[in-house]
A and B are shown apart, each in its own frame.
With several copies, the nearest count.
Chain A
Amino acid sequence: MTRLKISVQAADFDLAAEYAAIATQPGIGGIGCFIGQVRAGSDLISLTLEHYPGMTEKALHAIAHQASQRWPLHAITIIHRIGTLTIGQPIVLVLAAAAHRHAALSATQFLIDWLKTDAPFWKQERFSDGGSHWVEARQSDQQARQAWDIPLG
């Protein structure tokens, strides 16, 4: 059984509390983690994250389910923030815990790769000159997601 926590929220998350909540599950030997944050760019002031309420949570559950089918995971945590975030603020937290490091780190990578392409979030950038634009999806994200399904032999 994989302990699952999924949250879409405006508030910041508490890395230490989320880690502590899963680290004490019996049988865990490794915990992988990824935190994405607003990266400074030329004249960028903030990002505004929009999502599709209802569908987002379903999509994140489906992604977590996929991960738990691929690796023996003790716990998965996905927290994604919405609303307006300034440079350096955290956007997303992914945690995956397993008996061994390979499963924990592979699942962490998988979860963030799939979240990028399969969870209905959109980012709008705002600049110091007052302008704004919607971030375009990157081909590399689609490739990273699809790479998980390339047969190895």
Chain B
Amino acid sequence: MITVLYFAWVRDRVGTDAETLALPAGVTTLGALLTHLASLSPRHANALARPELLRAAVNQLFARPETPIAPGDEIAIFPPLTGG
């Protein structure tokens, strides 16, 4: 199982701030996970349609599409940061 967190407008569009799911066979990178998540529902598809607008972290470290993921990971998907 993995935990997926959504923040800011990604959360608004997906409609939840966190979900727990099984990692499908063959999904071993963040990029592959994004494709899988987009297939879960029309809301997911809409929220994740433009990966160039998204940023992500794996286990609270910034990650790229090729970053490996494994069961037990905490993955967060969010827009570019706007603090300060």
Q: Could you tell me if A52 and B76 are in contact, using CB atoms closer than 8 angstroms?
A: yes
What total count of A-B pairs have CB within 8 Å? 67
The residue in A55, A92, A115 that gathers the most chain B C-beta atoms within 10 A of its C-beta is A55
CB distance from B74 to the nearest CB of A (A): 9
Residues of chain A from 99 to 132 with CB closer than 8 A to chain B in the complex: 101, 112, 115-124
- What residues on B are CB-neighbors of A115 within 8 Å? 83-84
Q: Could you tell me if A134 and B79 are in contact, using CB atoms closer than 8 angstroms?
A: yes
The residue in B62, B81, B83 that gathers the most chain A C-beta atoms within 10 A of its C-beta is B83
Q: Could you tell me if A51 and B82 are in contact, using CB atoms closer than 8 angstroms?
A: no
- What residues on B are CB-neighbors of A120 within 8 Å? 7, 57, 76, 78, 81, 83
Q: Could you tell me if B84 and A137 are in contact, using CB atoms closer than 8 angstroms?
A: no
- B5 interface residue (CB < 8 Å to A): yes
Q: Could you tell me if B80 and A137 are in contact, using CB atoms closer than 8 angstroms?
A: yes
Please, how many angstroms separate the alpha-carbon atoms of A52 and B18 in the complex?
12
Q: Could you tell me if B82 and A118 are in contact, using CB atoms closer than 8 angstroms?
A: no
Q: Could you tell me if A91 and B84 are in contact, using CB atoms closer than 8 angstroms?
A: yes
Name the interface size band of chain B: 10 to 19
Interface of A (DSSP majority class): mixed
- A27 interface residue (CB < 8 Å to B): no
Q: Could you tell me if A51 and B5 are in contact, using CB atoms closer than 8 angstroms?
A: no
- What residues on B are CB-neighbors of A118 within 8 Å? 62, 81
Q: With A52-B57, A54-B60, A55-B60 as known contacts, state yes or no: A134 contacts B81, CB within 8 Å.
A: no
- What residues on A are CB-neighbors of B83 within 8 Å? 49, 51, 80, 92, 115-116, 119-123
- The one of A52, A112, A122 in contact with B82, judged by C-beta atoms closer than 8 angstroms, is A122
13 contacts between A and B (CB under 8 A): A36-B84, A50-B7, A52-B5, A92-B84, A116-B82, A116-B83, A120-B57, A120-B78, A121-B81, A121-B83, A124-B8, A136-B79, A136-B80
Chain B contact residues, CB within 8 Å of chain A: 5, 7-9, 57, 60, 62, 76, 78-84
